């Protein structure tokens, strides 16, 4: 079994004021979960946090960039933005931004549930 990257292991400490997060390997990176909702992802030792139409502008204004990947020559964008740099050094900032990501994940889950009713 492969060892979790040191960067991903460190996220438990980063988010200590927010709450317990766990990671799961996926697509060559990691999904970051809080209370069974994916609130972030790690790709190439970069943390991306969940966004939606209500929160993406805040991330953009903070200088964060969207998570993108190439699929068959097409650039795909997901609803995740890189975390502001202060998240990794400031537990209070980490809590604020993780809360935004969790709220976006909750709103996303609600929209999906409503579509399937």
27 belongs to a structural domain: yes
- Over residues 55-107, the pLDDT tens digits come to 999 999 999 999 998 889 999 989 999 999 999 999 999 999 999 999 999 99
74 belongs to a structural domain: yes
Domain of 27, in residue numbers: 6-112
94 belongs to a structural domain: yes
DSSP states of 70-94 as a string? EETTEEEEEEEEEPPGGGGT-HHHH
> What pLDDT, on the 0 to 100 scale, is given for residue 116?
43
Statement: the pTM of the whole predicted model exceeds 0.75: yes
- The CATH number of the domain holding residue 48 is 3.30.1460.30
40 belongs to a structural domain: yes
29 belongs to a structural domain: yes
SS3 103: helix
- Of the candidates 88, 94, 97, the residue with the CA atom closest to the CA atom of residue 17: 94
Domain total for the chain?
1
């Amino acid at each position: 079994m492969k060892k979790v990257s040191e960067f991903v292991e460190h996220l438990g400490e980063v988010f200590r004021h927010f709450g317990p997060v766990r990671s799961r390997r996926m697509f060559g990176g990691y999904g970051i979960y809080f209370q069974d909702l994916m609130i972030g992802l790690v790709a190439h030792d970069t943390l991306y946090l969940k966004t939606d139409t209500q929160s993406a502008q805040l991330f953009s204004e903070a200088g964060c960039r969207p998570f993108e990947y190439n699929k068959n020559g097409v650039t795909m964008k997901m609803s995740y933005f890189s975390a502001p740099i202060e998240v990794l050094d400031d537990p209070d900032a980490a809590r604020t931004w993780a809360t935004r990501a969790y709220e976006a994940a909750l709103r996303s889950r609600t929209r999906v549930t409503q579509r399937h009713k």
